Homo-oligomer: A and B are copies of this chain.
């Protein structure tokens, strides 16, 4: 849905909306349990929400498409994930919590190995340990020097790092330097649009200095850069949805995505209970809260059915604290499925339950994939419509037309 269309219908209200996003919540029945993780979990409070709410399965991007965490979250927040795509550099910054300023150009870097002829022999430098990465980043941070430009080199993990260029009139329209195969030399940073001529020159200086600084290092004696990008200028939730919005998320990646769309990111702890503490603490200050539960995904990726189930039960036990705050609209969903049977993100539609006093409840009585297939939101509800529905249930949308 076009966000400009929604924005024109927004009306102000005092109602409060809460999105509980359980990362990778959707599952598959495995051979041992004949149930999915959600179906196997003991979830009296989620079941109560489901029986009082309207339920279904949502598609974050499109039927059959497996979303990364970025697109999965953007969809749930009402932003079409195909329209709103982020560059890899910006994503990397989000992922480690590096706060990009307007105009910064970010790129994802790999430490790599080159031979005497300058040809790449290993694009990942043998996946060096993260500690060695830290050492190399501090070397670069210390020695790289480009007039009028601040350069930040930050460790991500193993061979991966983030580089950010800060200065006047920079542009992200630069092609990757990663040749994508061994036996070739790193590519020159070439402009994709003429506004990036100066930036390309700066990137060339960086690369040539980095090569010099790293030349005695082994096996990481060179860098490859890709995904040059700037923080996108997207519609902000307080404007397009009229919602003063807060994100409660322990992991940098999710805090970053929330920031891109204008949420305030609240300080919080690592546990779900601490996230609920934060929710209670800031309850009066915001219209909209996004509360992120990470470990459902982590355990799904590890193939650990029982631990994923346990996290669901941990969240379930905290639901009464949410209900005690008397929100007007509660949405419980995920950004994608991560069945422990598959040990990865998957394309399967994601359970979604919307609770409000005016939701038109269906016959669903329990919180789970197969129960939700028969729910009032259907089997392939577009994720990006959840926000519109939440706004409607919160009485925050005007009638369209006379």
Contact residues of A with B, CB < 8 Å? 1, 5, 9, 28-29, 36, 56-57, 61-71, 81-82, 85-86, 88, 91, 95, 339, 341-342, 344-348, 358, 360-363, 369-370, 373-382, 385, 388-392, 397-402
CA distance A373 to B56 in the complex (A): 11
B379 touches A377 (CB 8 A): yes
A385 touches B56 (CB 8 A): no
Given contacts A91-B402, A401-B70, contact A373 B363 (CB under 8 A): yes
Q: Which residue of B lies closest to A227 (CB)?
A: B402
**Which single member of B88, B373, B389 contacts A64 (CB below 8 Å)?**
B389
CA distance A400 to B73 in the complex (A): 12
B402 touches A62 (CB 8 A): no
Q: Which residue of B lies closest to A348 (CB)?
A: B360
Given contacts A28-B358, A348-B360, A381-B380, contact A401 B71 (CB under 8 A): yes
Q: Which residue of B lies closest to A57 (CB)?
A: B376
Given contacts A68-B400, A362-B373, A374-B374, contact A1 B388 (CB under 8 A): no
CA distance A347 to B28 in the complex (A): 33
B397 touches A56 (CB 8 A): no
Q: Which residue of B lies closest to A395 (CB)?
A: B342
15 contacts between A and B (CB under 8 A): A5-B82, A29-B360, A63-B385, A64-B388, A64-B389, A68-B399, A68-B401, A91-B402, A341-B358, A346-B358, A362-B370, A370-B376, A373-B376, A379-B381, A380-B381
What distance in Å separates the Cβ of A82 from its nearest Cβ neighbour in chain B?
7
**Which single member of B85, B339, B370, B399 contacts A66 (CB below 8 Å)?**
B399
CB neighbours of A71 from chain B (8 A): 400-401
Q: Which residue of B lies closest to A27 (CB)?
A: B360
Supplied contacts A9-B65, A64-B385, A379-B381, 12 more A-B pairs, CB within 8 Å: A61-B400, A63-B382, A64-B388, A66-B392, A67-B399, A67-B401, A68-B399, A81-B401, A95-B402, A344-B399, A347-B389, A363-B370
CA distance A57 to B54 in the complex (A): 14
- Please give me the 10 A-B residue pairs with the lowest Cβ-Cβ distance, nearest first: A64-B388, A68-B401, A378-B379, A71-B401, A347-B392, A63-B385, A64-B389, A64-B392, A68-B402, A66-B399
CB neighbours of A375 from chain B (8 A): 373, 379
CA distance A348 to B392 in the complex (A): 9
Given contacts A401-B71, A401-B81, contact A388 B63 (CB under 8 A): yes
Between A36, A66, A341, the greatest number of chain B beta carbons within 10 A of the residue's beta carbon is seen for: A66
